[in-house]
Structure 1
Amino acid sequence: MSEFTVVPVARVVGGRVEPTDDYWGGTRAIVRIDSERFGAGSVVGLEEFSHLEVVYRFHLTEVDGPVEPHSEVRHPRNNPAWPATGIFAQRNMLRLNSLGVSRCRLLKVDGLDLHVEDLDAVDGTPVLDIKPWVAELGPRGEVRQPAWPTEMLADYYAPGHDGRD
C-alpha cells in the first residue's frame, strides 16, 4: 500500500471547542472553504441539498504526539457492559489515519461559508472533503447492527451546549 498526502479543503469555524462523546444535537458551526484554492463556483448548486457528508481529520488526537490506534480488541467507551470489539467495529477517534466522517444538516450557503448543524467536529478541525448527501447512495437493503451502538449513542445527538461554558 502506498501513502499519499491530503490537503484540507476547509476548516470548521465555531461550534464546539472540545470533543465529547455525546450531546452534539443543535450544535451549529461553519465549514469555511479555503478561498485560496476554491472560488464561488465550487458551491454552485450545493444549497439545493439538505445534508452534507463531511470528511475531516481528528486533529486534537495528536496534541501529545502521534496517534496510537486501538489495534487490540477493547470495549467501546471502556464500558464492560458492551462487548469487546476491534477498531473496525467501532467509530472512535483513535484511528491510524485519524479520519472522521459526519453527516450534518446544511442550513445555509453564504459565499464559501457553509452553515451546518449537528456536525460532530470541533472548532479548527481540518475538513478534507465535502459531499452532498444523496439518498440513493445511502444504505441499500436491510440495515443491521448489534444492540450496543443504539444504547451507546442514545444521547449522541441529544440537545446539548456548544462546549464554550
Structure 2
Amino acid sequence: MNDENEGEPVPAHSIEVPVIGTVVGGHAGRLDDYKGGVESIIRLRPEYPVETLKGIEEFSHLQVIWFFSEGAPDDVALHARSPRDNPAWPATGTFVHHNHRRPPRLGTSFPKLLRVDGLDLHVTDLDADDGTPVIDLVAVFREMLPRGVVTQPAWPTEMLENYWAPASDRPQ
C-alpha cells in the first residue's frame, strides 16, 4: 500500500443520471418540519410515454429519489456535526444526516400516491420543494422495505417530532 497520499481526500467519481421529472406545487422555502398532508405533483418529462406508468395506480406509495437543487456544492459538509446545530444531539457524520449537506445531495421520500393523470402523479407527503428535479421513482413493494426491527438512537425521534405534522399546524 502506498502511504504517500495518506490523509488526502479520495478523488470524487461522478455519474450522469437523467432528470425524469419535476415536483410541481407542494412545499416551498426549505422548511425543516411540518411536511405532512401537503399535496404535490410529480410531473414526468414529456419524452416519457404514458405507458411507463401503467399499473402504478395499483400501489399506495412511491419511492422517489430527488435532487436537493436549492442547495449548492459548497453546502456539502464532510465532518461530524450536531443535527440542526442542536448541541443536545450528538455530533454525527455526514452519512448519518438526511439533508443537502451529503456529497450526492440526493433525497429519498415515500409519498402516498393519490392518483395518476397522464404523466402527472398526484401525491401527498412528498417532502421535496416545488421545482425539485426528480431523478427516479418506483412503486413501493412491502418486500423491498427494511426487514427486521429498525433501530436508532433517541435523537432522530426528538428531532423529527414535527416533521410529518400537518403544514396547517406550523406556527405562524
State TM-score, norm by structure 1: 0.92
The residue number in structure 2 matching 1:46 is 56
Residues 13-24 of structure 1: matches in 2 within 5 Å? 13-24=24-35
90-99 or 149-158, larger mean C-alpha shift: 90-99
Fraction of identical pairs, as percent: 48
Q: Which secondary structure state, in structure 2, belongs to the residue aligned with residue 60 of structure 1?
A: coil
48-57 or 11-20, larger mean C-alpha shift: 11-20
State TM-score, norm by structure 2: 0.88
The question of 1:67 aligning with 2:78 is answered no
Residue 68 (structure 1) shift: 3.4
Residue 16 (structure 1) shift: 1.3
CA distance in 1, matches of 2:81, 2:13: 28
CA distance in 2, matches of 1:69, 1:9: 24
Number of aligned positions between the proteins: 159
State the structure with bigger RCO (CA 8 A, min sep 6), 1 or 2.
Answer: 1
For structure 2, the residue ranges without an aligned partner over 5 or more in a row are 1-11
The residue number in structure 2 matching 1:120 is 127
Residue 58 (structure 1) shift: 0.2
Contact 1:53/1:101 (CA < 8 Å) preserved in 2?
Answer: yes
Aligned Cα root-mean-square deviation (Å): 1.5
Q: Which structure has the bigger radius of gyration?
A: 2
CA distance in 2, matches of 1:84, 1:7: 34
Contact 1:54/1:129 (CA < 8 Å) preserved in 2?
Answer: yes
